[in-house]
Amino acid sequence: MDKLFIDAARIWLLNIAIVLPVYVIFAGGVWFVLWVLLGRVLRPRKIREATPTPRQLRTEFLYSVRSVAIFATASIGVTLLARAGAYPLSDLAATWGPVWFWASLALMIVGQDAYIYWLHRWMHRSRWYRMLHRRHHLSHNPSPFTAYSFDLGEAVLMTAPFAILWPAIVPTPWAVSLLFLAHQIFRNTLLHAGYELTPARADGRPWFDWLTTSTHHDLHHGEAGYNYAAWFTWWDRWMGTEHPEYHVRYARAAGVAPARAPTA
Ligand SMILES: [Zn+2]
Ligand SMILES: [Zn+2]
């Protein structure tokens, strides 16, 4: 039992030692580059006039560090289950070549997008909202540090299914799980960046309109009830929950006047 405890502590610390610096460097780097270094240059692409207070940034950072600790705790479960032979599919998938490698990454990201959309809608309607999702929405005006500013329960719900269950059910090479984590940190931080960085078409829409943008998620923080999606705009459009002014607000943030409807 003692050996198991020491093992678990070692796995936890090792994961903290890897994931925490990645998170701190990335979120801190995005904040420093966009908000400090290029703040003046990017001024036209700032989504909101107001800037969050240093106190908000500090609080978000501390809650994000706690979420990283939860992610590391999930890794104890994954490592111990792997030792017990719970993930034969991951070892098998590693031999299936590059096509499956990239297909399994796409599948995992699309699967997580669907999961987050429905979990997110449920959290907003649930009587558990105050326990699960309130912390994230205390950031009315998000910053790069908002990305993992979660209540404890939300951090667990965001992590456990894809870190622990998915590789047991879907053949997913371990390297894909790491890329999946990197994608999550990258996209999630940029969704809360406070600046609209994606390229816009002449008609004012994003080039890749099927991907969520910082403006898309910023509208969710500003007016909960719309834009629940994480990575793709599909679910919000299929379910009619995309903010009706999304493209107008996007065009404004991206510095492109939206195309006017043709007049007779
Ligand atoms: Zn929400
Ligand atoms: Zn958010």
CA of 174 to the centre of ligand 1 (A): 30
Output the pLDDT for position 149. Answer: 93
In this prediction the pTM is 0.90
CA of 222 to the centre of ligand 1 (A): 10
Of the candidates 195, 168, 193, 182, the one whose C-alpha atom is nearest the C-alpha of residue 93 is: 168
Output the pLDDT for position 6. Answer: 82
The ligand minimizing its distance to the Cα of 116 is 1
The ligand minimizing its distance to the Cα of 122 is 1
Output the pLDDT for position 263. Answer: 44
pLDDT tens track for 55-85: 999 999 999 999 988 888 888 888 888 888 8
Domain boundaries, the chain: 2-253
The ligand minimizing its distance to the Cα of 150 is 2
Output the pLDDT for position 258. Answer: 57
The ligand minimizing its distance to the Cα of 149 is 2
CA of 42 to the centre of ligand 2 (A): 21
Please give the C-alpha separations between residue 240 and each of 217, 225, 249, in angstroms, as whole numbers: 16, 11, 18
pLDDT in tens, the chain (264 residues): 677 778 778 888 888 888 888 889 999 999 999 999 998 999 999 999 889 999 999 999 999 999 988 888 888 888 888 888 889 998 898 899 899 999 999 999 999 999 999 999 999 988 889 999 999 999 999 999 999 999 999 999 988 888 899 999 999 999 999 899 889 989 999 999 999 999 999 888 999 999 999 999 999 999 888 999 999 999 999 999 999 999 999 999 998 865 454 444
Contact 138, 209 (CB under 8 A): no
CA of 235 to the centre of ligand 1 (A): 15
Q: What is the CA radius of gyration of the chain?
A: 20
